[in-house]
């Protein structure tokens, strides 16, 4: 009997039946398929009908894309990432195993759970799938309840992992980038700056006499002081590409991509002035009657700046500049290269 359902087209031109309604997740799993930030699912299979079967099973999710090759999947992921991938193991060109292994080598894409969809049901295949980085696998022929169950499970796990990573990347007191996240970002931005031949500057800040402030006003007031300084740093660093982090008890860092030494000096002076302008009382400071910061500046990719070989060397140069700012009386900026700053 001829199928009279409305049809759509797969990437290769094959006619596919229009998707039918399926039961939506109940919501008791912590996921809302209809939320404004819907989970993004990617189906990768060279068989258009296999894609349609999965689409029908995942009809509850409104953000479902598909690709018929690993190359097309890579292009889609470059445009926008995904929260879950259903992947066919055997495809022309790059196989599913090779594609999954390549995802695992990407520091961002490796976090996406991958579910293999395959006709194989043996231990050797399962071992190969898991060794390539897969989170799970489903044996064909697939049925909708099993697909929906696995999708909810792995999307929930991904959501939980994302929350944990976000917590690890954020300083709980100030809401700024954490030291761990900053170190990773610095490595990445420094490599990018070197590849593109672009300047990159680092500001290293220290709150002057914070220990005396805590002794005088108490640690709760000290915490509030740090939060206020974090707000001032955010306001002073206006570009979306500028990154602010709390890197120690009384230390902050500002990373300025595409910013040479002269520009970094201007930002550093702006940051120092912004903190001083808050006029937070500090009766035990020997610098001023209010809270102040000292700032060291280091840059790469600038003809007039020193050229640290790696992230650790850049941190050392910035720390040396901060040390000189303190030596010169605090509440000031010191910029490398400068006489007396170690390289």
Which pLDDT belongs to residue 161?
86
> Does position 263 have pLDDT exceeding 50, yes or no?
yes
pLDDT tens digits for range 40-91: 999 999 999 999 999 999 999 999 999 999 999 999 999 999 999 999 988 9
Q: pLDDT band for position 31 (50/70/90)? A: low
pLDDT of residue 169: 76
Q: What is the pLDDT of residue 307?
A: 59
Bigger pLDDT: 37 or 13?
Answer: 37
Give pLDDT tens digits for 169-190. Answer: 788 899 999 998 899 899 989 9
pLDDT 10s digits, 88-136: 988 999 999 999 999 999 878 999 999 999 888 888 888 888 888 899 9
C-alpha pair distances (Å), 83 with each of 43, 60, 94, 155 = 11, 15, 22, 7
Tell me: the pLDDT tens digits for 194-242?
888 899 999 999 999 999 999 999 999 999 999 999 999 999 888 889 9
How, if at all, do strands 114-118 and 84-88 pair? parallel
pLDDT attached to residue 15: 44
| 265-316 pLDDT tens trace | 999 999 999 999 999 999 999 999 999 999 999 999 865 444 567 899 999 9
* 168 vs 231, higher pLDDT: 231
Q: What is the mean pLDDT of the chain?
A: 85
């Amino acid at each position: 009997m001829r199928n009279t359902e409305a049809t759509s087209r797969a990437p290769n031109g094959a006619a596919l039946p229009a998707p039918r309604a399926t039961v939506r997740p109940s919501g008791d799993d912590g996921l809302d398929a209809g939320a404004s930030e819907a989970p993004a699912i990617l189906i990768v299979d060279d068989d258009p009908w296999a894609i349609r079967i999965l689409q029908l099973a995942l009809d509850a999710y409104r953000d479902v894309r598909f690709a018929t090759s690993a190359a097309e999947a890579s292009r889609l992921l470059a445009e926008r990432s995904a929260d879950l991938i259903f992947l066919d193991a055997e495809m022309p060109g790059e196989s599913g195993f090779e594609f999954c292994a390549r995802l695992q080598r990407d520091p961002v894409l490796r976090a996406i759970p991958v579910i293999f969809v395959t006709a194989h049901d043996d231990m050797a295949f399962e071992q190969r799938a898991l060794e390539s980085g897969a989170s799970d696998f489903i044996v064909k022929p697939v049925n909708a309840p099993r697909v929906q169950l696995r999708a909810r499970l792995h999307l929930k796990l991904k959501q939980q992992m994302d929350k944990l990573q976000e917590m690890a990347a954020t300083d709980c007191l100030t809401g700024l980038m954490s030291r761990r996240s900053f170190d990773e970002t610095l490595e990445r931005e420094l490599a990018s700056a070197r590849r593109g031949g672009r300047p990159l500057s680092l500001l290293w800040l220290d709150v002057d006499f914070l220990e005396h402030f805590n002794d005088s006003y108490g640690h709760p007031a000290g915490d509030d002081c740090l939060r206020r300084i974090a707000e001032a740093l955010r306001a002073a660093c206006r570009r979306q590409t500028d990154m602010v982090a709390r890197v120690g008890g009384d230390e902050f860092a500002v990373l300025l991509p595409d910013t040479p030494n002269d520009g970094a000096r201007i930002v550093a002076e702006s940051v120092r002035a912004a903190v001083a302008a808050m006029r937070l009382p500090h009766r035990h400071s020997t610098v001023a009657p209010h809270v102040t910061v000292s700032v060291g500046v280091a840059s790469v990719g600038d003809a007039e700046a020193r050229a640290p070989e790696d992230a650790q060397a850049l941190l050392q140069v910035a720390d040396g500049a901060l040390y000189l700012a303190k030596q010169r009386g605090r509440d000031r900026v010191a910029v490398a290269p400068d006489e007396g700053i170690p390289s």
